Amino acid sequence: MGDVLSSLNPMQRQAVLHGEGPLLIFAGAGSGKTRTLAHRVAHLIGARDVAPSRILAVTFTNKAAGELRERVQRLIGSGDAPWVSTFHAACVRILRREIGSLGFSASFAIYDDQDSERLLKECLRELDIAEQTLTPRAAAAVIDAAKNRGISVATFDRSTPAGERAARVYTLYQEKLRRANALDFGDLLLWTVLLFREHPAVLGRYQDRFQHILVDEYQDTNRVQYQLTNVLAARHRNLCVVGDDDQSIYRWRGAEIGNILDFERDYPDAVVIRLEQNYRSTGIILEAAGAVVAQNARRKGKALWTDNPRGEPITVAQVDDDLEEARYVAAEIGRLVRQGHRLRDIAVFYRTNAQSRGFEEALVRHRLPYVIIGGVKFFARAEVKDVLAYLRLLVNPADSLAARRIINVPARGIGTTTVERIAAFEEDAGGFLAACRLALARDALKSVAAERVRGFVELLDGFGRALDTEPYPQLAARIVADTGYATLLREDPSEVARDRIQNIEELLNGMQQHATGGGTLQDYLEQVALVTDVDSYDGQADRVTLMTLHAAKGLEFPVVFMTAMEEGLFPHARVDEEDIEEERRLCYVGMTRAMQQLYLTHARRRRVFGDVHANQRSRFLDEVPRTLVREIGNPARRWELARRQTELFAAHADASSREVRVEYDTEDGLRVGTRVRHATFGVGLVQQLEGSGDGRKATVLFQSVGRKKLVLKFAGLQPA
C-alpha cells in the first residue's frame, strides 16, 4: 500500500487517507479524480478493513462506473467488489428487492424517454388535452422536472390552471405506469426516495449497510439524488463527494450546483480537499480555460496549475462559412495525421448534434474515418425497440405499451379499429395483452380480426413457453424469424432495410455476449434500458471522434477542435443571460478536454435551418487572453477582434472600478482607467491606486494574466 500511495500527490493522498466523517473533494479538470477515488475505495478495504459490500460508490455514467470498478479491482485484487454503479442502477438494484412494498412487482419494466412520451400521448388523448395546449414532450419535461425535484403526484403544485392541467396528466401517467408495472428514469430515483421515506425499517437496513458512500460528479446531482445520498449517509456520516463546480453542465436536467457549493453548510465538520494539479493539459490550454471560466461569478474559484510544458498557442481560426469550417477542420486533421498524430487522438466538438453533418461529409471526402458519439441511439432505433418489446412483454406481461407496439409489427392485419376495441377491455383485464385475451373470450371482435388477434396471442404464448426452456438470445432470434420480421426486411431491397438487418444482428450478438457472461433476460433488459452511446465509446478504434460538448465530459484527447464558436450557437441562442454561466462552464469543459493542441473555429456566415446567419464571434473567444492565441483567418478581422477585446476589457474594468469613490489626477499621471504596459504582463488597465511615495501601489487588470497588484516603484509601468 505504501508504494501505491507514493504515486499520489499530497492532496490526493490526503483524500485517500481521510478516515471517518464527511469529505468534500474539489477535483479540477484532469486532476486525477478517478485515480483518487479508486485509491480511496481500495484504501478503505485494504487498510481500514471496511467490507467491500459496505461501500457504495455512485457515478453518473456506466462508463465512469466501469472505469472506477476496474481500477478498484486492480488495486484490491480478487475478492468481493464494492457497489460501484450509477445512481439509476443502484436504485434499480434496491427496488428489485424492495419494490413489493410500493405495490409493484420485481419484474418491473424501465421506460425510456421515448416510451414515456408515447404513454403521455395516450394520457393527453384520454384527458382531451389538445396537443396545442400541451405536447407530450412538454408534459414529459414538466413531469421529469418534478421528479428530479422530488415532487410526486401528491405534492405537485396545482395552484395555476396550467399546473392543474399538468397535475391531471401526471396523475394519469403514473396510474398507467403502475398498471404497466413500469418505472421511468425519474421514477427509479423518486420511488427509491419515497420507499425510504415510507418504510423506515427498509431505510434503516441500507443506512446500516452503507458504511461509506462516495459520490462522483456531485456538482451535477439533482435534488432527489441529493436526498438519496444524504438520507443514506445519515447514520455513518461517511459521505465523500467529489466534483467540480466549474464543470456543472446539467442544470437544465435538474442538476443543482448548490448541492456541492453548500456541502460545507450541510456538513460543517466536512474536510475539504482541493485537487488543483492538472496532469492533462499544457500550461497554455489550462490558463486559457481558466481565464474563460474566471468570468463566472457563481463559483468557488480554484487555481489549477500544471507541471506540463506551456505548449503551443491555441489556434483561433476564422473561416467564411460552415462549409469552409468543415473543410478546414478536415484538412487540418489530415495535416496532423501526416505529422504523426493518430486519428483517435483527435476530437471535434460541437454544441448541437445537428452540427455533425458538415464534418461527416468533409471527413468522408478526405477519407478520414470517424465515429459519432450520440445522435440517434442504438437502442432507440425502431427495429431494435420492436424486438426488445417482444422480450419485455414476455418478462412483464403487464407492459401495455410494449404490447401495443408490437401487436401489428410486423404487420399482421390488426388495425386501429381492432386495437381500440381491445383497449376497451384494458381496464377490466389489467393490461393490453390481457385485454386481447378477454376480448377474445367475450367474442367482442369481428371474426377476421379475432383470428388475427388469436394468432398474435398464441405466438406470444409460444414464445413464453420457450422462455423457460431455451437461452434468451436464441429465443430472440426465433422471435425475429417466427414473427416474419426477418423475411419482411430481407425482401426489402432498400438500404434502410439492410441497415435494420445489421442492427438486429448487432442486437442479437450483444445478447449472446451478455448471456455468455451468465446474464439473465431481465438483467439484459435492465442493462439495455440504462446504457447510452457514450458508454460504448472505447477510444481504441483509430478514428476521429465527433461529439457534442456535453458528451465530451470526462474524456480527454491530445487534439481538440471546438467548432462554431459563435454567438447564437455557442452560447446557444436559446439560453438566457442567467444560463450564460452554464454555457461558459460547457466551454471550460470542452477546452480542458484538450491535452496538447486546441483549435477554436468560428465562421462569419453559417446556414442554420436553411437560412444564412452572420453570427458574431463567441464572447468566449474574447475571454481567452490574446497572448495565448494564434489567430488564423481573414486579417481584416483582427482589427475587429482587437477592438472588441478592448471594449470587453474596458467594460470589465468599468464594472470592477465602480467601488472606487474619487479619482484624482496624480503626479505620476496614473488614474483609474489608465492604459498601461508592463514588460512581462503586457497591456492592462489600472483599476485601483493606493498609498504614496515608494509604497504607492496600483491594481492593474492585465489581458494576459488578469488582476495584479504592483508596487509602482518596481513595476516600471509605461503608458500604453
Site string for DNA, 373-412 (x = CB under 7 A): -x-xx------------------------------x-xx-
One of 122, 276, 535, 567 touching DNA (CB under 7 A): 535
By CB under 7 A, residue 354 contacts DNA? yes
Task: Answer left, alpha or beta for residue 430, where phi above 0 means left and psi between -120 and 50 means alpha.
Answer: left
Torsion angle (degrees, nearest 10) of CA 604, 608, 612, 613: -50
Site for DNA in 550-569 (CB under 7 A): 550-551, 553
Q: Taking the complex as a whole, how short is the minimal distance between the CB of residue 363 and DNA, in angstroms?
A: 16
One of 414, 598, 600, 670 touching DNA (CB under 7 A): 414
Question: Distance (Å, rounded) from C-alpha 221 to C-alpha 218?
Answer: 5
Scan for cell 456531485, then name that residue: 218
Q: Is 174 a catalytic residue?
A: no
Provide the pairing of β-strand 606-608 with 594-603: unpaired
Q: Nine-digit cell at 215? A: 459520490
- Identify the DSSP state of 624: S
By CB under 7 A, residue 255 contacts DNA? yes
The residue among 113 and 523 lying less far from DNA, judged by its C-beta, is: 113
> CB under 8 Å to 63, separation ≥6 — which residues?
534, 535, 537, 554
By CB under 7 A, residue 360 contacts DNA? no
The residue among 89 and 624 lying less far from DNA, judged by its C-beta, is: 89
Q: Nine-digit cell at 718? A: 509605461
Interface with DNA by CB under 7 A: which range of 149-157, 570-578, 624-632, 642-650? 570-578
**String of DSSP letters for 211-227:** SEEEESSGGG-BHHHHH
By CB under 7 A, residue 40 contacts DNA? no
Site for DNA in 89-118 (CB under 7 A): 89, 113
If one counts every other C-beta atom within 10 angstroms of the C-beta of residue 24, the result is 21
Scan for cell 475587429, then name that residue: 640
Compute φ and ψ for 680, nearest 5 degrees. -100, -40
Q: Taking the complex as a whole, how short is the minimal distance between the CB of residue 263 and DNA, in angstroms?
A: 17
The residue among 503 and 674 lying less far from DNA, judged by its C-beta, is: 503
The residue among 89 and 180 lying less far from DNA, judged by its C-beta, is: 89
The residue among 176 and 553 lying less far from DNA, judged by its C-beta, is: 553
Burial class (CB in 10 A: 0-12, 13-18, 19+), 350: buried
One of 12, 62, 277, 563 touching DNA (CB under 7 A): 62
By CB under 7 A, residue 252 contacts DNA? yes
The residue among 376 and 655 lying less far from DNA, judged by its C-beta, is: 376
Question: Distance (Å, rounded) from C-alpha 34 to C-alpha 242?
Answer: 9
Q: Taking the complex as a whole, how short is the minimal distance between the CB of residue 413 and DNA, in angstroms?
A: 4
Q: Taking the complex as a whole, how short is the minimal distance between the CB of residue 367 and DNA, in angstroms?
A: 21
Q: Is 360 a catalytic residue?
A: no
**Active-site annotation holder among 216, 345, 399, 582:** 216
The residue among 353 and 474 lying less far from DNA, judged by its C-beta, is: 353
Q: Taking the complex as a whole, how short is the minimal distance between the CB of residue 573 and DNA, in angstroms?
A: 8
Site string for DNA, 198-237 (x = CB under 7 A): -------------------x--x-----------------
By CB under 7 A, residue 610 contacts DNA? yes
* Sequence-ordered alpha helix ranges (H) in 353-484: 356-365, 382-395, 400-406, 416-423, 426-429, 432-441, 447-469, 472-482
One of 40, 43, 71, 351 touching DNA (CB under 7 A): 351
Q: Taking the complex as a whole, how short is the minimal distance between the CB of residue 558 and DNA, in angstroms?
A: 22
> CB under 8 Å to 326, separation ≥6 — which residues?
358, 359, 361, 362
Q: Nine-digit cell at 330? A: 478536415
Q: Taking the complex as a whole, how short is the minimal distance between the CB of residue 364 and DNA, in angstroms?
A: 14
> Which run of H or E residues covers position 79?
none
**Active-site annotation holder among 61, 86, 225, 247:** 247
Q: How many CA atoms lie within 13 A of 192 on its CB side?
A: 26
By CB under 7 A, residue 63 contacts DNA? yes
- CB–CB of 223/148 below 8 Å? yes
Question: Distance (Å, rounded) from C-alpha 420 to C-alpha 3?
Answer: 69
Q: How many CA atoms lie within 13 A of 594 on its CB side?
A: 29
One of 97, 125, 253, 707 touching DNA (CB under 7 A): 253
By CB under 7 A, residue 533 contacts DNA? yes
Scan for cell 464558436, then name that residue: 565
Could you tell me which of 462, 452, 421 has the C-alpha nearest to residue 439?
A: 421
> Which run of H or E residues covers position 562?
strand 557-562
Q: Is 33 a catalytic residue?
A: yes
Question: Distance (Å, rounded) from C-alpha 252 to C-alpha 586?
Answer: 13
Site for DNA in 122-141 (CB under 7 A): 135, 137
Question: Distance (Å, rounded) from C-alpha 598 to C-alpha 289?
Answer: 11
Q: Taking the complex as a whole, how short is the minimal distance between the CB of residue 612 and DNA, in angstroms?
A: 9
Q: Taking the complex as a whole, how short is the minimal distance between the CB of residue 253 and DNA, in angstroms?
A: 4
Site for DNA in 311-340 (CB under 7 A): none
Q: Taking the complex as a whole, how short is the minimal distance between the CB of residue 8 and DNA, in angstroms?
A: 25
User: Three-state SS for 55?
Assistant: strand
Q: Taking the complex as a whole, how short is the minimal distance between the CB of residue 12 and DNA, in angstroms?
A: 22
- CB–CB of 214/136 below 8 Å? no
Could you tell me which of 650, 648, 691 has the C-alpha nearest to residue 670?
A: 691
The residue among 122 and 482 lying less far from DNA, judged by its C-beta, is: 122
Q: Taking the complex as a whole, how short is the minimal distance between the CB of residue 437 and DNA, in angstroms?
A: 19
One of 111, 226, 250, 702 touching DNA (CB under 7 A): 250
Torsion angle (degrees, nearest 10) of CA 616, 621, 625, 629: -100
Q: Taking the complex as a whole, how short is the minimal distance between the CB of residue 535 and DNA, in angstroms?
A: 5
One of 43, 88, 280, 302 touching DNA (CB under 7 A): 88
- CB–CB of 697/687 below 8 Å? no
Interface with DNA by CB under 7 A: which range of 49-57, 394-402, 604-612, 686-694? 604-612
The residue among 213 and 589 lying less far from DNA, judged by its C-beta, is: 589
Scan for cell 454567438, then name that residue: 567
**Active-site annotation holder among 593, 604, 606, 626:** 593
User: Three-state SS for 350?
Assistant: strand
The residue among 532 and 657 lying less far from DNA, judged by its C-beta, is: 532
By CB under 7 A, residue 531 contacts DNA? yes
The residue among 65 and 598 lying less far from DNA, judged by its C-beta, is: 65
The residue among 209 and 357 lying less far from DNA, judged by its C-beta, is: 357
Could you tell me which of 278, 235, 31, 255 has the C-alpha nearest to residue 148?
A: 255
Scan for cell 449497510, then name that residue: 209
Site string for DNA, 656-695 (x = CB under 7 A): ----------------------------------------
By CB under 7 A, residue 548 contacts DNA? yes
Q: Is 247 a catalytic residue?
A: yes
Interface with DNA by CB under 7 A: which range of 292-300, 322-330, 525-533, 639-647? 525-533
Question: Distance (Å, rounded) from C-alpha 466 to C-alpha 470?
Answer: 6
# chain residues binding DNA, by CB under 7 A: 52
Q: Nine-digit cell at 621? A: 473567444
Length of the chain measured in residues? 720
Site for DNA in 174-193 (CB under 7 A): 185
Q: Nine-digit cell at 438? A: 378477454
The CA distances from residue 244 to 64, 176, 181, 241, 281, in Å, are 16, 39, 38, 10, 17
Question: Distance (Å, rounded) from C-alpha 381 to C-alpha 284?
Answer: 42
The residue among 448 and 711 lying less far from DNA, judged by its C-beta, is: 448
Residues that bind DNA (CB under 7 A): 60-63, 86-89, 113, 121, 135, 137, 185, 217, 220, 250, 252-255, 351-354, 357, 374, 376-377, 408, 410-411, 413-415, 530-535, 547-548, 550-551, 553, 572, 574-575, 579, 607, 609-610
